[in-house]
Each structure stands twice: as C-alpha cells, then as structure tokens.
Structure 1
Amino acid sequence: MSRPPTFVPPACARSHHLRTARGDFAVLDAVPSGPVHGTAMLLPGFTGSKEDFIALLEPLAAAGFRAVAVDGRGQYESDGPADQQAYAQSELAQDVLAQAAVVGDAPVHLVGHSLGGQIARAAVLLDARPFRSLTLMSSGPARISPAQQDKVKLLSDALAVMDMGQVWEAMRALDPPEDADVNGEDLRHRWLRHNPAQLLATGHQLTVEPDRVDELAAVRQLPVHVLSGERDDTWPVPLLDAMAVRLGARRTVIEGAEHSPNTDRPAATAEALVGFWRQN
C-alpha cells in the first residue's frame, strides 16, 4: 500500500469533483500562480488514491504545470458500483479519456503510477490524441512479479470472506512495527472508502496483464517516459530498463526511491517530470 506523507493538499490545490460524460471523479487540482505551461493528469496505483501525488503538486505548480490527481472509479472519494465488470481495464481507460476531455488545456501530459500506468497505457492505445506525453511511473510491461501476485491473491481471498474493516486489521497485523503508525487513521479511512469490487477486479488485472509494449511503441507521435525508483519488487528495475529501450522512451531512475518515487523522493520526481514535459 502506498503511504503518502500527508493527506492535506498544499495551498495551490483544491479538492473537487471532475464532471465527465462517464460520471464524477474526485480530484486534487493544483494550479500555478503564474503562466501555465501545460496540464498533467496523475493516475494512482492499486489501493492508492490521488493523495499519493500530494507531495508533487506544489513543485509541479511552481514549475508552471497544472497537476490534476484523480481518484479512479471505486477509488477512495470516487464512487463506483459493486459489479466487478464495471472495473474492466477497458472501462477504466474510457474513464481516463472522459477525464482528459473535460480537464481543459488539452492535450494533457498523462502520468500513471503502477496500476495507473497500465490503465494510462490502455487509454492511449484507445485514443492517443488527448495526450501530449505519457509517463509510466513504476509500471511494468506486463503482469506483476510472482511475489506480488501471491500478495494480491491473499488480499482477494481475504476480501471474499471478510469485510473491508476486517481486512484492514489483518493487513495492519502483518505490517512491520516501524510502519504501523504512518498516517494510520488517514490510511484506514482511505482503505474503507475503496470499493471491494474495484480492488478485486484491478488486482486480477495486475496478475494477468499481457505485454503491450510493442503496441505502445507503435504510437509514434506520443513521447513516452519510463520513471522508477532504483529498487522495485513489483516490476524488477532491469525489466523497466528493457521496456524503456523497446519504447524508445526517456528513462529516469530516482535514487533513494523504491516503488513509489512520488512519495519516496517527490522533489527529484517532480524535477524529472518537469524536465521531460518541457521538452515535449
């Protein structure tokens, strides 16, 4: 589970709902005080939320980029149905296209972290025209590592027989002691707001996702950026290196970061994003 350092957005950001043709989505919307050089949409990963990008919002806005972090359907403050079919990757990709259509300042720079990267890729493969660039942040070419597949299966098995509160308590019991009190109440509140059907459907997606790198590489007009920490147990870093080569993409490794460079090293991550966007 991602662990944002705070759930309180900076002064440059406001919380509101983005109204689209496919429903309303909760967002944190950070706007520069001066000229706007572009707009970015930020998609969170599995069990995550828009708050995972809070530490990026201020430096991105200070660099002149509007940043809109989005809760996908069934994530935290965005509502979603109890039907797992509603969270098919194709449905989530269509949501992203609908969000891009109304966020303004099109085309937008699209950033997807982990699961969000695979959803972003699916959106681009449906229609790349709304996007100015794509950044895959700690998001690999296909399914997650075997160890992470096992974790997703444990979670799915638990969700089949427990309610969200019971699953939360079971997860916390397995946390290392040094992590047990990191934003504990905020994390619990976020977890309880997630729709279990969304977790089950997207967790399954992560375990079966095919390699679509060649398809993405064929979208020649779209600049791509592969960004990660220097360690990652969800997709090994050498796998991300190889994916970047296959895509002809810009490659950035954030020193001192692991699977969530957006929370581990936000200043360096924001700098890397801004550097990529300014060239595209």
Structure 2
Amino acid sequence: MSTPRFLTLPPGVSRTIVESSRGPFAALEALPGSRVPERCPALLLPGLTGSKEDFLAMLQTLAASGRRVVAIDMRGQHETPGPDDPDAYGRAALGGDLVALLEALGPDPVHLVGHSFGGLVAREAVLAGPARPASLTLMSSGPSAVTGPSADKARALRDAIPELGMAAIWSIGMEPDYVASGVQGEILAFLKDRTLGNSEAGLVGMSREILTAPDRVDELAKHCGDTGLRTLVLYGEDDDVWDPRVQAEMAERLGAAKVVIPSAAHSPAWEAPETTAAALSDFWNLCEHSLK
C-alpha cells in the first residue's frame, strides 16, 4: 500500500495490508526495534467514525515492549473496502471479520483492544466463541447503545447521509468546525480524506448498530469466568460518549481491571497516548505472566 500524502508516520510504523479469510484489511503495524517480537501481538480496533490512525500516537510505545502491534480499519472504514449495503455492517458480521483477523495474526494469542463502537464489535467476536484472545480491553466503550447527545449525533449522521452524502456533510457540518478549532495542515487534509473515504453505507449501518446494541455484559462476564479471559475497562475521566460512571459499573459487573486516564475524554489513545500505552502494556504483561 502506498503512503498517503496527508499523514507522516513515525519511524518504526508502516502501512500494510492484513490478509484474512474475510478479505484484506488496511493496517498500521509497529514492531520492536529488533524487528523480532518477543511477546504476544496486539490488535487495535477503532470506533465508528474512526480509523487505524486514531492509535498512531502510541503504536511505537506499545511495540517497544517487544511486541507486534497492528491497528486496522474495519470493513468500509477509510482504506479498507466494504460493500454498499448497510446491512453488511452489523455487529455480528464485523465480529466475524475480527475473528478472522485474530486467526491471521496468530498463532500466538492476540491482545484485543476495541475503542468505542470497536469495543462492541470486539465483544461480539469474543462471545462468538472461536476467538481466544490473550486479553480483551474495552476502551471508552459501554455496555450497550449510546444515549443522550451521543445518540442524537448518531441518528443525525444515519439520517443525513442518504439525503446529503458525506461530501456535503464534510463541507457544511464538519470542516468549518475543525478550522474554527485550529486544526490545520496535514491533520485537516487527513480528516477530509478519511471522512470521504469511509463507506457511506458502512457509516449508516454502524450508526444503526451503535443505537441498538443490547447489554451483553452479563454474557461476557460468564464467558470470561468460564474461559479465564482477562478484561480491562479503560476510559478517559471526561468521556462524553459513555458516562464514566456507566463504564465503571460495567467494569464491576465484568470483574474486570479498570484504568481511568486523567486529562482524557473519549479518545485516550490520542489525548494521552503515553499514559494509555503504559496502562495497556502493564495489563498485557500481567496477562502474559498468568498464561505461563
């Protein structure tokens, strides 16, 4: 894959394609300095309107501990192709893609991280049964569908795309806000490229899914208890999508470890990358110690 002109990658991070039984997935890959991984790999899954680049600021730090770290675009996101049918973007279908990716990145068990909507997809993959990740991290994700202002935004996106299209939504509703907030240069160019590169059908389908996701926390807790899968709930102290109190309660129901990232909101991997990477590495190392 050629490197887009919009975003400069740090040393040690490269663009690649992960081939799987469910098709190709665009990815960012980071390896340790030796280029020889010594620990279990990790797979990072973005949220609904996100992409693999959301994890860019912490990929080097995560890989430095001796592991291969891969962040992907889900089907229909940014640089991964997807069908023009909103029904193809259900949580179960996306979870099936994730199972295939875990198999492709093996044979060692893979640490799985799902951000926001990606956390709901990761949960589906785990509950489907075949996948046996080394650990599961739900990052800024919730027990069920979004509510309140976040639900209003998801409904607005779902309803506006068929009528206006993403090009008009970008020009009218997104770009002016980014410019007003001081986003410039290659970041603004990247955001436009990503926004217009996303499958419109995928955005509609995933918006439906984040508005209707059921609470499956008790099922996941039972699965973790039965299989020994260790789980981490990680979120910013100022998360404005799922209330931090809701995420804390989810962690308690799961019997999961919990990390609250100071000075971060809904995107701790971007807002506090070093703190978030340290928390993930500590958790992964602990899980690997228990696997021995």
TM-score bracket, normalised by the shorter chain, equals over 0.9
What displacement does 1:129 show?
4.0
The SS at the match of 2:41 is: strand
The SS at the match of 2:32 is: coil
Query: For residue 3 of structure 2, what is the aligned residue in structure 1?
Result: none
Deviations 1:83-135, CA, capped at 9 Å, x for gaps: 11211111100000001111134210000000000000000000264301000
Q: Does 1:245 align with 2:249?
A: no
Query: For residue 24 of structure 1, what is the aligned residue in structure 2?
Result: 24
Q: Does 1:167 align with 2:174?
A: no
Once residues 173 and 278 of structure 1 are traced to their aligned partners in structure 2, the CA distance between those partners, rounded to angstroms, is: 41
The partner residue of 2:109 within 94, 99, 107 is 107
Unaligned runs of 5+ in 1: 1-5
Once residues 285 and 18 of structure 2 are traced to their aligned partners in structure 1, the CA distance between those partners, rounded to angstroms, is: 26
CA contact (8 A) 1:106 1:130 kept: no
Once residues 11 and 99 of structure 1 are traced to their aligned partners in structure 2, the CA distance between those partners, rounded to angstroms, is: 25
The partner residue of 2:72 within 70, 73, 86 is 70
The SS at the match of 1:279 is: helix
Deviations 1:155-177, CA, capped at 9 Å, x for gaps: 12210211221111122266262
Query: For residue 146 of structure 1, what is the aligned residue in structure 2?
Result: 148
What displacement does 1:77 show?
0.4
Query: For residue 272 of structure 2, what is the aligned residue in structure 1?
Result: 265
What letter is aligned with 1:268? T
CA contact (8 A) 1:244 1:250 kept: yes
Once residues 63 and 171 of structure 1 are traced to their aligned partners in structure 2, the CA distance between those partners, rounded to angstroms, is: 41
Once residues 119 and 266 of structure 1 are traced to their aligned partners in structure 2, the CA distance between those partners, rounded to angstroms, is: 22
The SS at the match of 1:51 is: helix
Once residues 170 and 202 of structure 1 are traced to their aligned partners in structure 2, the CA distance between those partners, rounded to angstroms, is: 22
Give the direction of change, closer, same or farther, for the CA distance of 1:129–1:86 in structure 2 (3 Å limit): closer
CA contact (8 A) 2:125 2:131 kept: no
Once residues 127 and 9 of structure 1 are traced to their aligned partners in structure 2, the CA distance between those partners, rounded to angstroms, is: 35
Once residues 145 and 135 of structure 2 are traced to their aligned partners in structure 1, the CA distance between those partners, rounded to angstroms, is: 23
The partner residue of 1:203 within 200, 204, 207 is 207
Query: For residue 97 of structure 1, what is the aligned residue in structure 2?
Result: 99
What letter is aligned with 2:211? T
Once residues 7 and 47 of structure 1 are traced to their aligned partners in structure 2, the CA distance between those partners, rounded to angstroms, is: 17
Once residues 106 and 10 of structure 1 are traced to their aligned partners in structure 2, the CA distance between those partners, rounded to angstroms, is: 26
CA contact (8 A) 2:99 2:130 kept: no
Percentage of pairs with the same residue: 42
CA contact (8 A) 1:49 1:71 kept: yes
Q: Does 1:57 align with 2:59?
A: yes
Give the direction of change, closer, same or farther, for the CA distance of 1:174–1:218 in structure 2 (3 Å limit): farther
Unaligned runs of 5+ in 2: 1-5, 288-292
Query: For residue 231 of structure 2, what is the aligned residue in structure 1?
Result: 224
Query: For residue 7 of structure 2, what is the aligned residue in structure 1?
Result: 7
Query: For residue 261 of structure 2, what is the aligned residue in structure 1?
Result: 254
Q: Does 1:178 align with 2:181?
A: yes
The SS at the match of 2:204 is: helix
The SS at the match of 1:65 is: coil
The SS at the match of 1:232 is: coil
The SS at the match of 1:157 is: helix
What letter is aligned with 1:276? F
TM-score by length of 2: 0.91
What letter is aligned with 1:264? E
Query: For residue 131 of structure 1, what is the aligned residue in structure 2?
Result: 133
Deviations 1:211-268, CA, capped at 9 Å, x for gaps: 1100100112110000000011110000011000000000000000000000000000
Query: For residue 3 of structure 1, what is the aligned residue in structure 2?
Result: none
The SS at the match of 2:242 is: coil
* Paired positions, count: 275
TM-score by length of 1: 0.94
CA contact (8 A) 1:7 1:54 kept: no
